[in-house]
Amino acid sequence: MTDRIQHIVQLARQSKTFRSAYHLLFWIIVAFFYFALFSWNSEFREATIIFSAGLLPVAISETYFFNHFLFPRFLWKKRYARFFLYSFYTLLVGVWLSFLIVFYALIFILTNKAAISPTLLHPELQIVSLHFIIFLGIAIKQVKRAFFMQQEKSELEKAQLTTELKLKEAELKLLKAQVHPHFLFNTLNNLYGLTLEKSDEAPALVLQLSDILDYILYRCDAKLVDLSEELANLKNYIEIEKIRYPNKLKLTLEFPDETEHLKIAPLILLPFVENAFKHGVSHFPGMAFINMKASLSDKNLTFSVENSRTPLKPKEQSYSNGIGLVNVRKRLELLYPGKYILRVDELSETFSVNLILELES
């Protein structure tokens, strides 16, 4: 209903015919107001006609002069000194014209009717009624202007919000597209290594890879997935990685048994796990370790990963600046603005990530 009213108002605003009719109707009402006011105050019908016919063009001229010249030319441009000076002169001219109209009415009555006192014509009433209409016309114009400015501001904000939302959706799709190839490349490398070794664990890896591909290709298109599915996918990935490092990895894994049907963005946790295996195990010279834990408190998921770390050479890039963590930071900002806390700690021998995420049910 509100949108329909705004649409009608917008059409009316754009129609010159409607605006002209609106202005004409307003001044017709003012003319009747003047006629009724001066008829009630004067015994002479001729004086009523003179006052009404004389003050109306003065009121029209001063109202439009304020609304279409003084306000846009000076007040809106913050040229206050000139605005108040010219406003004073304009109102002074209005007072002067009001007295002229009173004197003309007095001369007309004295010439054609009878002798009367000038005070019986109440010149102060003409001045007050003139400026009342002028200020009313100015107020209506400024209120209307403020209304349309607010409407335009709301429409601009709505358009800007829509544009930002589309940009975020496009950026999110791009980030997810970067996650998929990166993940598949690592997994296929694992499978290739096992087939070269003719490992008996290759069939199990193929089955787990099949589950992962099914998850990525068919279930990750949704904005949110069950937390249980996301954790199951992580377990499959971890099992694949464990096959690669049977004698050099000490893994501690703790995931909740019940996820209370909570929802999470797909593949949002995977980069942390990938990062742990890539930097904490693959190039580590001795026995590496990974400690991984996920826990729930109401709707808050706490996910932590700590892994051993190969000391970096001076020219090497920091782990926390890798493409995987950069992408996941962007995804978190797009999907969970103000609803997550991410802490990354790089120590001399360990690297740890702690994420607290507010999920949806």
Give the whole-angstrom CA distance, residue 147 versus residue 10.
11
pTM, two decimals, is 0.53
Chain-centroid distance of CA 17 in Å reads 36
Own/partner pairs, 30-35, CB within 8 angstroms, 24+ separation: 30/56, 30/59, 30/133, 31/56, 33/133, 34/129
Give pLDDT tens digits for 289-343. 999 999 999 889 999 999 998 765 444 455 555 556 777 888 888 889 899 999 9
**What would the DSSP string read from start to end of 14-50?**
H-HHHHHHHHHHHHHHHHHHHHHHHHHH-S-HHHHHH
Taking only the tens place, the pLDDT of each residue in 61-70 is 888 888 888 8
CA distance 243 to 205: 8
201 close to 243: Cβ distance less than 8 angstroms: yes
With a cut of 90, say whether residue 253 has pLDDT above it: yes
Dist. CA 202–CA 206, nearest whole Å: 6
88-92, 194-198, 262-266, 279-283: range with lowest mean pLDDT: 194-198
Q: Is the pLDDT of residue 23 over 70?
A: yes
Higher pLDDT, 164 or 252: 252
Q: Which residue has the tokens 């002028």?
A: 134
Q: Are 112 and 46 in contact (CB under 8 A)?
A: yes
Q: What integer best gives the mean pLDDT of the chain?
A: 77
Instruction: Give pLDDT, residue 148.
Output: 81
Cβ contacts of 54 within 8 Å, gap of 6 or more: 97, 101, 104, 105
User: So what's the pLDDT on residue 14?
Assistant: 56
Residue whose tokens read 């754009």? 14
Q: Which helix (H) or strand (E) holds 342?
A: strand 340-346
Which pLDDT tens digit goes with each residue over 30-47? 888 877 777 776 666 666
Res 67: pLDDT:
85
| Mean pLDDT value of segment 254-261 | 88
Give the gyration radius of the chain's Cα atoms. Answer: 40
Q: Which two tokens stand for residue 225?
A: 């997935």
C-alpha span between 324 and 341 (Å, rounded): 17
DSSP secondary structure letter of residue 223: S
Cα 351 to Cα 40, 170, 273, 309, distances in angstroms: 91, 32, 12, 6
pLDDT of residue 343: 93
**Which of 105-114, 184-193, 324-333 has the least mean pLDDT?**
105-114
- Per-residue pLDDT at 1 exceeds 50: no
Per-residue pLDDT, 173: 63
Q: Output phi, psi for 252, to 5 deg.
A: -115, 120
Residue 115: pLDDT over 70: no
Query: Do the Cβ atoms of 32 and 86 come closer than 8 Å?
Result: no
Query: What pLDDT, on the 0 to 100 scale, is given for residue 167?
Result: 64
| pLDDT exceeds cutoff 70 at 117 | no
Of the pLDDT bands very low, low, confident and very high (cuts 50, 70, 90), residue 357 is very high
Q: How confident is the model at residue 261 (pLDDT cuts 50, 70, 90)?
A: confident
**Greatest mean pLDDT among 50-54, 101-105, 248-252:** 248-252
The reported pLDDT for the residue numbered 315 is 45
Segment 231-250 shows an average pLDDT of 84
pLDDT at 24 over 70: yes
Name the more confident of 189 and 354: 354
H and E: helices and strands count for the chain: 9, 7
pLDDT of residue 325: 77
